[in-house]
Amino acid sequence: MSLLVGLTGNIASGKSTVARAMVRRGATLIDADVLARRAVEPGSEALARIVERWGSGILDPDGQLDRAALRTIVFPDHDALEALNGIVHPEVTRMRDRLVAEAQEKGDRVIVSDIPLLFERHLTGEFHRIVLVDAPRPLRLERLVRDRGLDEAGALEIIAAQMPAELKRARADFVIDNTGTLDELDAAVDGVWAALEREADDVAVPLPR
């Protein structure tokens, strides 16, 4: 039986780095961000619905979704953000469920679903264990500006749109604090991964999906 792990963390926490570290240790990774991009590819129903709601101005010259343009519209507007999530997330969930089922059929021991909005979308019941990657808000803001080229106002809007990490910490089974070096982060992943492997030996029943 497979251990189903939900991996989450607010933007610029280092979640993707932790996901890659878990893959190196043998995890099967299902990345919700990858699925979200696939869900809005040209010709998809989701992209057609997005254009219908917000207009063709959110497309680039090649007909791809211009994420930066869409972000400026939806992040300052809670209702617009919820509407976007309502379009994209059902398709992402469908693809994720199919990939999880395929990995279970292959007998993969630890299946890690990387889901940025795991708590916000009320998905905790779909996993045996939840791993949260966290870093202080000022550090995450610095990373967004320095590493992703966002201006401070835009970065703050994205941070504010997510559930505060303090609320997530209380509900996670494991918390990985990413405030130091990559070596320190890798050591923290080691400890969590060892615990997950032990728990994978004890999984007796699949979770309802």
What's the mean pLDDT when you consider all of the chain?
93
CATH architecture of 3-200: 3-Layer(aba) Sandwich (3.40)
Place of tokens 């869900």: 39
Give the pLDDT of residue 175.
98
Per residue in 2-42, pLDDT tens? 999 999 999 999 999 999 999 999 999 999 999 999 999 99
Give the pLDDT of residue 206.
59
Asked whether the predicted pLDDT for residue 163 surpasses 60, the reply is yes
Give the pLDDT of residue 185.
97
Give the pLDDT of residue 201.
87
Per residue in 85-134, pLDDT tens? 999 999 999 999 999 999 999 999 999 999 998 998 899 999 999 999 99
Average pLDDT, stretch 141-157? 89
Per residue in 177-192, pLDDT tens? 999 999 999 999 999 9
* Whole-number percent of the chain with pLDDT over 90: 82
Give the pLDDT of residue 154.
84
Average pLDDT, stretch 51-66? 95
Give the pLDDT of residue 161.
80
Question: Which of 78, 71, 76 shows the shortest CA–CA distance to 50?
Answer: 71
Give the pLDDT of residue 208.
52
pLDDT band at 83 (very low <50, low <70, confident <90, very high): very high
